[in-house]
Amino acid sequence: MNVILLGAPGSGKGTQAAKLVDTYAMVHISTGDMLRAAVSAGTTLGVEAKKYMDSGELVPDKMIIDLIKDRLGKDDTGGGFILDGFPRSTSQAIALDEQLAELSRSIDVAIAIDIDPETIVKRICSRRFCPACGRTTTASEGDTCIICGCKLEARADDKEEVVRKRLEVYEQSTAPLIDYYRGKGILHSIDGDRPVDTVWADVQKIVSGN
């Protein structure tokens, strides 16, 4: 099964994607994670992308579309994948349709996670990640990762003013994709303002077709 997770920054896409990976062994394709890896590695793409990411703007389509084209072409995606953070604009969605048609594949479901913007600001400002094991958690866990003991960090773009810009960009560029996938008859909307496992129960029902 091939799934798109749609939703504003902080709506819980990455959290639910991790559960899909654990349960269904699907491949998680997160453009945000791929870009952050490029930034950490100091590649040409990373250096260019960082300017946009730090200010909450979208990275130009050309860079992202090439990145996704390369990733979707890899053999491991044949057993099912989750797109998290892509597509983020109508032009990216059209490019994705073209790439999938070339690969004789398609998207089975698009899941939109709905959530109130003010809840998002609170959530993102308290998000932390472990640079060693890659786990995402919240500031309520304390300063160190409960799994590997490393110091937890905040993402560079999780400052309140950048979060508000990201929300603005989401409304302008990405929210219209909800209608795009509704038009294709594959959209499912769920309430993301509930505990993680309650949201997950809905995601599981959609993915398992129950």
Q: For residue 184, what is the DSSP state?
A: T
Q: Is 123 a catalytic residue?
A: no
The one catalytic residue in 13, 36, 50, 71 is 13
| Residue from the set 56, 95, 111, 177 that interacts with ligand AP5 by CB under 6 A | 56
Question: Least distance in Å: CB of 65 to ligand AP5?
Answer: 9
Query: Taking CB under 6 A as the rule, which mask of x and - marks residues 142-171 in contact with ligand AP5?
Result: ---------------x--------x-----
Which residue number is nearest to ligand AP5 in terms of Cβ?
Answer: 32
Question: Least distance in Å: CB of 128 to ligand AP5?
Answer: 7
Question: Exposed, middle or buried by CB within 10 Å (0-12, 13-18, 19+), for 190?
Answer: buried
By CB under 6 A, residue 10 contacts ligand AP5: yes
Rounded-to-integer distance, Cα 165 and Cα 79, Å: 36
Q: Is 159 a catalytic residue?
A: no
Q: Which stretch binds ligand AP5 (CB under 6 A): 57-65, 72-80, 180-188, 202-210?
A: 57-65
Rounded-to-integer distance, Cα 73 and Cα 65, Å: 12
Q: Is 127 a catalytic residue?
A: yes
The token pair that represents 18 in the structure block: 């991790």
Residues 6+ apart with CB under 8 A from 58: 52, 64, 88, 89, 169, 173
By CB under 6 A, residue 88 contacts ligand AP5: yes
> Which of 187, 209, 188 lies closest to 199, judged by CA?
188
The one catalytic residue in 71, 123, 128, 166 is 166
By CB under 6 A, residue 86 contacts ligand AP5: yes
> Which of 90, 92, 79, 111 lies closest to 15, judged by CA?
111
> Which of 187, 184, 203 lies closest to 195, judged by CA?
203
* Contact positions vs ligand AP5 (CB under 6 A): 7, 9-15, 31-32, 35, 52-53, 56-59, 64, 85-86, 88, 92, 123-124, 127, 136-138, 157, 166, 192, 195-196, 199
